[in-house]
Amino acid sequence: MIFIHSMFFFYTTIFIDSWIIFSKSSGIKLKWKPLCVTGAIFIVANVLFDNVILIDQLFFIGVSLLFAPQKKLSEHIFNGFFAIMIVELLFRVIGSFFLPAVLGFSIRQINSDLRLLELCYLLILPMFYLFSYIFSIDLSLLRFISEDKMKKWVFWMNTTMFSYYFFVHFLVKVQSEFLGLYFRYRSILIFIYLAILIWIIVKLDRFAKDQLSQKLAQAQSERIAYLENYNQSIEQLYRDIRTVKHDSENILISLKDSIDSGDIESITQVYETVVQQSATSLRRPGYEMSSLDNIKEAVVRSVMNSKLLEAQHYGIDLYIEIPDVIDDLPIKLLDLIVLFTGLVDNAIETAKGSRRPFLSIAYFKQDGETILYY
């Protein structure tokens, strides 16, 4: 029973290490229930197929395929191998350098003692965050790299990881004469691969930050354009109000003259020719800005206003329905803005080619979830 508990704790630690790094690099997030189920399957798979060399990599490739089916196969392979390779390299660094130097254990003692192996895996995340802090690495930024730019990096990373597993796992089992050389130069080999991996990750991180800076600069430019469009709309509304004020004064003067004369026919004529015509001209097609009052996030409301004004500029009829107060965002603000602008831009392009272009938007809450409908 003690051995079973030890094995359960051992594989749980490996899963936590692997999942945190996998989640950061792939951008895949799970709620507690599916995450616990995934962890249980990982533990069972390792117990049943302990002798399969690439069981962890295949497992996380499957997780990537299941929860991110829109990605390409090369990206799934990258997601599956990348996290496990980092875990394994850090494990070997801790087991080959750190524990022997600090605690005086030999590599043979570490490999034969489950408690020391557990200690190595418990130290992986602190070591990972230490490396991330030293080299200013944020793996979560990888998702901001565009698909075309990511292809080259994924290819070289997959090549590096495949070569690592070929030398470290397959070749030592097939070629017995290579086994002695491997154990003789194992520390150097691990150090070389660790240096290569750190270099590639640092380059990836810097590239991702450059891509993010470009996207932020583009978003800032779009934001300025939105504000200019919004300002022009406010100015037009001000001019319309002045026109209404001027027309209203003229209408009242016409009615006053007719009323003073007591001529019912003249009053009727003024009403039918002036008042009704003016009322019709004041009914402008489109939406009212007050339609967005239920959206409490000012940035979202401003972006929506500017995009809807852009649609109105192209002669697209707008139908806005936001019956509920939206004060909590279901996703991050930046992601919501990117999602909304992308959807509206596509809708505008589609509507411009229609005979009677219109755009209908409903943003409401249902069963505790926020729904955005186009």
State how far the Cα of 337 lies from the Cα of 322, in Å rounded to an integer.
Answer: 17
**Which residue ranges make up each domain of the chain?**
2-220, 285-374
Which stretch, 176-190, 243-257, 311-325, has highest mean pLDDT? 311-325
Strand order in the sheet with 358-366: 317-321, 358-366, 369-373
Q: Give yes or no for a contact between 139 and 24, defined as CB atoms under 8 angstroms apart.
A: yes
Give mean pLDDT, residues 120-146. 80
Closest Cα partner for 91 from 129, 46, 121?
121
State how far the Cα of 6 lies from the Cα of 114, in Å rounded to an integer.
Answer: 8
Q: Give yes or no for a contact between 243 and 322, defined as CB atoms under 8 angstroms apart.
A: no
Confidence of residue 39 (pLDDT cuts 50, 70, 90): very high
> Quick one: fold of 285-374?
Heat Shock Protein 90 (3.30.565)
The beta strands (E) that lie in the chain are given as 317-321, 358-366, 369-373
Confidence of residue 177 (pLDDT cuts 50, 70, 90): low
Q: Which residues contact 364 (CB under 8 A, 6 or more apart)?
A: 321, 322, 323, 324, 370, 371, 373
- Site of tokens 């409401």: 364
What mean pLDDT value characterizes the chain? Answer: 77
Confidence of residue 109 (pLDDT cuts 50, 70, 90): confident
Neighbouring CB atoms inside 10 A of 60's CB total: 26
The one-character DSSP state at 141 is G
In the chain, the amino acid numbered 204 is: L
Closest Cα partner for 82 from 60, 67, 62?
60
Confidence of residue 183 (pLDDT cuts 50, 70, 90): low
